[in-house]
Amino acid sequence: MADISGNTTDMKVFLVTGGTGLVGKAVEEIVKQNDGKDYPGIKFVFLGSKDGDLSVYKEAKKIFHQHKPNYVLHLAAMVGGLFKNEANNLSFFRINNLINDNVLRLCDELRVEKCVSCLSTCIFPDKTVYPIDETMIHLGPPHDSNFGYSYAKRMIDVLNRGYAQKWQQEAKQSGCNIPVFTSVIPTNVYGPYDNFNLEDSHVIPGLIHKAYLQVQDAIQKGTKETQLTVCGSGRPMRQFIYSLDLARLMLWVSFNYQQTEPIILSVDEEDEITINDAAQLIAESFNKVAPDIKINLINDCSFSDGQLKKTASNLKLRKHLPDFVFTPIEEGIRTSVKWFWNNYDLARK
């Protein structure tokens, strides 16, 4: 458990579940910038699964009662790319439902002022019109490849609305303040501290790891060219968001966004690219760390493509933050490749 604290008397506690993962580490990095001065009076606590299994109510209760949070950013989840989802729908549904029900129940029991949970653009209906917006989450079945993860995530929105209704009814009698439980909907996230496992990861970390192994092999053999196998046709489209941008936006939501209804956290629609475009950027980024080796892409169409696109509108976000500048994907991928190259031994893989 990482505990970023100065003077702890009279400080409010901001608990981040899933604080050791891709997004949690990015939140920690943003909070640490400027010597933590951007968040005066707040003590941040970053939890990992070693601190307790949040899918078990007794363990979750112990952690929450120990920290007594005022704010919760709920990131902990069973997470994975297309192929892990396709193979494990039942576990994704059961484990994530247990984690989410325990976390929100404890936020209610401890009267947490604000709880922000995390959905994903991959939970939207498969058959839909584009761009997707926040009103469309429940308007039809999700893509079959990740129905377990999707339905579990959709239930967070149901819980948030249920708790809001309960507090409104209670407030009529007691007149006390009503907490805000809400959710954010990020697109496909990438960055340092990602899960780079070859089978279970999302596409960008998976391709970075594969490219790394190919480049190392080429260096050993003294060859100048190597291949990177991209699963599927490479034609599906995704709006990738850099983890540090997402972290900044999540912190903004935690302190400024007061609605129960979710908010999409995404790059603009025109920043959507194909899987092969992302793979090409990875190949080019390896050229910076291993300039003598050229990586050629090949597509293996025996793998599935998953959802062809899930173009999301960030209009709601842009109404609040019209000038937010996202990290260009070329730069984000370059930094992620460099991070993996320099941190191979400690990277999750």
Q: Does 153 interact with ligand GDP (rule: CB under 6 A)? A: no
In the set 45, 82, 244, 290, which binds ligand GDP (CB under 6 A)?
Answer: 82
C-alpha distances in angstroms, 223 versus 16, 57, 215, 279, 280?
46, 54, 9, 21, 20
Would you list the DSSP string of 90-117? HHHHHHHHHHHHHHHHHHHHTT-SEEEE
In the set 142, 148, 232, 262, which binds ligand GDP (CB under 6 A)?
Answer: 232
Strands 71-74 and 114-118: parallel
Q: Which residues in the 98-127 window bind ligand NAP by CB under 6 A?
A: 99, 118, 120
Q: With contacts defined by CB under 6 A, name the span among 12-20, 223-231, 280-288, 317-325 that binds ligand NAP.
A: 12-20
Q: Does 156 interact with ligand NAP (rule: CB under 6 A)? A: no
Residue among 206 and 234 whose Cβ is closer to ligand NAP: 206
Bridge partners (DSSP) listed for residue 231: 300
CA gap 171, 177 in Å, rounded: 7
Query: Shortest gap between Cβ of 46 and ligand NAP (angstroms)?
Result: 8
Q: Does 27 interact with ligand NAP (rule: CB under 6 A)? A: no
Active-site annotation, residues: 149
In the set 27, 76, 203, 317, which binds ligand NAP (CB under 6 A)?
Answer: 76
Count of positions on this chain that bind ligand GDP (CB under 6 A)? 20
CA gap 50, 56 in Å, rounded: 13
For 152, the enclosing helix (H) or strand (E) is helix 147-174
Q: Does 85 interact with ligand NAP (rule: CB under 6 A)? A: no
Query: CB of 14 within 8 A of CB of 71?
Result: yes
- Residue pointed to by tokens 């209804």: 261
For 218, which DSSP code?
H
Interaction partner, residue 21 (ligand NAP, ligand GDP, none; CB < 5-8 Å by kind)? ligand NAP
Binding region for ligand NAP (CB under 6 A): 18-24, 48-50, 53-55, 75-79, 99, 118, 120, 186, 188-189, 195, 202
